[in-house]
Structure 1
Amino acid sequence: AAEPRRVSAVVFHMTKQELRSALALALVVGLRMFGLFLVLPVLALDLSRMPGGTPLLIGVALGVYGVGHLLLQVPLGLLSDRIGRKPVITMGLALFAAGSLIAALAHGVWGIVLGRALQGAGAVTGASQALAADLTSERGRNAVMGILGAAVGLAFLLALLLGSTLAAHLGGLQGLFGLTCALVLLAIAALWLLVPRTPAPRVHGAGIGAIMVTLRDARLLVLDLSALVLHAVLTLFFVAMPLLLAHGLRLPVAGQWRVYVPALLAAALVMALVLPRVRAQSASVVAVQASVLLLALGLVLLALTRHALAPCMAGAVSYFVAFSMLEANLPGLVSRLAPTTQRGAALGAYSAAQFMGVIAGGASGGVLLGHAGVRGVFALAALLAVLWLLLLLAAGTRLRQTAPTASAGSA
């Protein structure tokens, strides 16, 4: 049979079906992440006004979401290998919607904590990335991961801009949780109506053995460690960046979008220009190494910034460009290197490592901020990026190799 027609071959290197699948799945992921990010601009402030709104419980309400994601990413990834991606993603979205509804009806902080915990139990990032990999060929995989990454970035940007305004019109935090519930139910409908079916899973004895397969592969462990460092650095960045903007550059919270928005737009432009040209596995490895170098340079610039806008903007642009490229390329490499029948488990482990990084970055960033200030936090983030780059350079040859089990799994 003739090869399927490709859409704008020079740009996307994807079939029309792959492009439609990627856009449909990006809608599902984007709706979920928009709902998640939407409450962040007002969560701490509104909780402080509720009965029982102590600083400790506010911190618990903010962090409890990540606990479920850390604990359940791998089990749900394994389950998606056994029963299929869509049923598991639907289960996770339903839990997320239920948690949102509980939080919307809550009258105190403990109700919000319970709702956020249930939201976190819907840990389907790994299953969603595995579904994206199932729907695309290796030739178009980086592009589809880039589309998903762009959807998350757009969701974050819109939530940052609209969160406070929507809260004012919807009656505060509970209104935002109600809107989140509606958006997630819409995402479930989009998943089944717009995202194409995938072949039935072909797993024999998936379970702890699937986890052991991923743990025995040193290349997958390097990528899991990469996810941990990337998200530890992300948390360190957001520990320090708002304070740098507020105290160093005298930008109020309401005006900080003037730095974030241009940086995110620059990241989107670079991804649109570069990602379609990163198709081979070896090119993905080089792109990851170059992105980590750019990440380190951006963090060094931010560590050296005092009161000047230009180096701060350059550092922010470098950071977001590098972060966006890494968010697209790293999951694509995991999906290439993992055996097909353990892809959900491998991407679940990768996603769990992300949340381990968030927890580690938050804990170390808070301590370091008190002892070394904003510049010390950025310096630690830059040091982690440099050490990460050295690891990737040492593992570069192995990362370029295709595992025999991967090809066997797809046979």
Structure 2
Amino acid sequence: MSQSERMSSVELRSTLSLASIYGLRMLGMFLILPIFAIYAETLPTGHDHFYIGLALGAYGLTQALFQLPFGMASDRLGRKNMIYIGLLIFAIGSFVAASADDIHMIIIGRAIQGAGAVSAAVTALVADLTREEHRTKAMAMIGGSIGITFALSLILGPTLNQWIGVPGIFILTGVLALLAILDVKYLVPDPQVSRFHSDTQAAPARLGTVLQNTQLLRLNFGIFALHASHMAMFVVVPFALKQTSGLNEGDHWMIYLPIMLVSMIMMVPAIIIGEKKARLKQVFILSVAVMLASEVAFGLMISSFWGIVAALTVFFIAFNVLEAIMPSTISKQAPAAAKGTAIGVFNTAQSLGIFVGGVSGGWLSSQYGYAAVFIFCGILMLLWLVSVMTMQAPAAVRSRMYHLPDGYAGDTAQLSRQLAALPGVRESVVLPTEGMVILKVDMQASWDDSAALQLIRG
């Protein structure tokens, strides 16, 4: 592998540092999921599951409201400045939740946590600090940090609860957020040039195009439904596990650990088949059908310990597969020049799903019992299954990005046509203001970078 094909030490350090910040923030969100509902019931008014669900989902609402504005503000006020502000807000929310003596203050703290929505600013900074040809790799590393963080949270949350309790977990996440500020300041380099990046950032002018794309709308509904079901589940499953297993909530890691290991092993062949064999639609349909089956299983077997374990295992196999393949599907379906906008809308739909799932799960549980929660989730999955069955099969393409020569003065329209004529190219976009070329290349074709580079370099 030549030096140009490797990430530089600066790129690698920047990506790993920013991925760790992304992961630490998500860890603060996820750590309380497996134990919060049981803790909240001990608080004044916490016996009302509606408030438990609202506390779990509150950060999703404020995150949905602030993540796109944070990213756009980073263009004007600076990437690092917005990340500092977001991490500080998140830390304040953590400390508010830690000091709360009733469920209402925890709801406020969780809402403040969500308002520190740094994800868009972090990805924009990653784009500033990495060359175009390594951008996809850098974003994949960040995506991997989120998946690892979620799996760890289900195991670490119950263990930490035994040692420091839920207030201690909130304090820990607040301290980690403050340490992350030092990470950004001293370990992450300042970008030499900071500019808008179509592949990672949302552009208001392209929102209309994205929101009118029915294939992207299907994916947005899917991520909404997936995370609504996920959050609603954690309103009731911790109670059901405690009642049926006899284990204290601090020991629930012993249940989640084997479930997560099995689900992560099982997801690998599904991803390989979907991505490498160009069978994404089939994997989608099967995974959503499995999700639907898990919701039915929850509803029928919520009073049986082994029934819950089986349903959780099936749920997380499908959940992990869908979490892994949906971002890449967005990239395949979105117009090349609007990829960042499509991802921004997608992430906003995910956050709204967290909020709606928490609130709906809490209210349904308090009014109609556990089974109603899984009926609600099952309906979401059924609607998603219909949506997936009618979607177009995602094109078997991969994105290739190239840097335009500095001061490029050629005919960009002609260059785009020439690149589009290369064998295997499905879409070609030249963005002179960003100094970038984006190609969507057929994965089944034998691709030769040298031909594209020769045209770009003139």
In the superposition, the TM-score normalised over structure 2's length comes to 0.69
Which of 188, 211, 221 pairs up with 2:181? 188
Say if 2:350 is the partner of 1:364: no
Higher relative contact order (CA 8 A, sep 6+): 1
In the alignment, the residues of structure 2 paired with residue 372 and residue 289 of structure 1 have an alpha-carbon distance, to the nearest angstrom, of 30
- Give the Å deviation of 1:196: 6.9
Contact 1:23/1:147 (<8 A) preserved: no
1:227-257 Cα distance to aligned partner (Å, 9 max, x none): 1111111123223423432445555534433
Say if 2:231 is the partner of 1:235: yes
Contact 1:305/1:311 (<8 A) preserved: yes
Q: How many residues align?
A: 398
Say if 2:180 is the partner of 1:200: no
Alignment gaps of 5+ in structure 2: 400-425, 438-458
Is the deviation greater in 133-142 or in 243-252? 133-142
Relative to structure 1, is the Cα distance of residues 309 and 355 closer, same or farther in structure 2, using a 3 angstrom cutoff?
Answer: same
Relative to structure 1, is the Cα distance of residues 254 and 95 closer, same or farther in structure 2, using a 3 angstrom cutoff?
Answer: closer
Identity of paired residues, percent? 32
The amino acid that maps onto 1:214 is V
Relative to structure 1, is the Cα distance of residues 387 and 15 closer, same or farther in structure 2, using a 3 angstrom cutoff?
Answer: farther
Contact 1:75/1:348 (<8 A) preserved: no
Contact 1:146/1:271 (<8 A) preserved: no
Is the deviation greater in 97-106 or in 234-243? 97-106
The amino acid that maps onto 1:145 is G
In the alignment, the residues of structure 2 paired with residue 23 and residue 246 of structure 1 have an alpha-carbon distance, to the nearest angstrom, of 38
Quote the residue 2:171 is aligned against.
178
- Give the Å deviation of 1:62: 4.9
Within 5 Å, give how 1:30-179 maps onto structure 2: 30-38=23-31, 41=35, 45=39, 62-80=56-74, 86-103=80-97, 114-128=108-122, 136=134, 138=136, 145-167=143-165, 173=167, 175-179=168-172
Which protein has the larger Cα radius of gyration, Structure 1 or Structure 2?
Answer: 2
In the alignment, the residues of structure 1 paired with residue 104 and residue 370 of structure 2 have an alpha-carbon distance, to the nearest angstrom, of 32
Say if 2:370 is the partner of 1:374: yes
Relative to structure 1, is the Cα distance of residues 258 and 47 closer, same or farther in structure 2, using a 3 angstrom cutoff?
Answer: closer
1:174-197 Cα distance to aligned partner (Å, 9 max, x none): x44432222012223334555677
Contact 2:225/2:381 (<8 A) preserved: yes
Is the deviation greater in 25-34 or in 280-289? 280-289
Say if 2:338 is the partner of 1:316: no
Is the deviation greater in 90-99 or in 36-45? 36-45
Contact 2:60/2:351 (<8 A) preserved: yes
Relative to structure 1, is the Cα distance of residues 283 and 16 closer, same or farther in structure 2, using a 3 angstrom cutoff?
Answer: farther
Is the deviation greater in 319-328 or in 275-284? 275-284
Higher helix content, 1 or 2: 1
In the alignment, the residues of structure 1 paired with residue 271 and residue 10 of structure 2 have an alpha-carbon distance, to the nearest angstrom, of 19
Contact 1:232/1:357 (<8 A) preserved: yes
SS of 1:397 mapped into structure 2: coil
The amino acid that maps onto 2:380 is L
Is the deviation greater in 204-213 or in 150-159? 204-213
Relative to structure 1, is the Cα distance of residues 290 and 353 closer, same or farther in structure 2, using a 3 angstrom cutoff?
Answer: same
Alignment gaps of 5+ in structure 1: 7-13
Relative to structure 1, is the Cα distance of residues 354 and 91 closer, same or farther in structure 2, using a 3 angstrom cutoff?
Answer: same
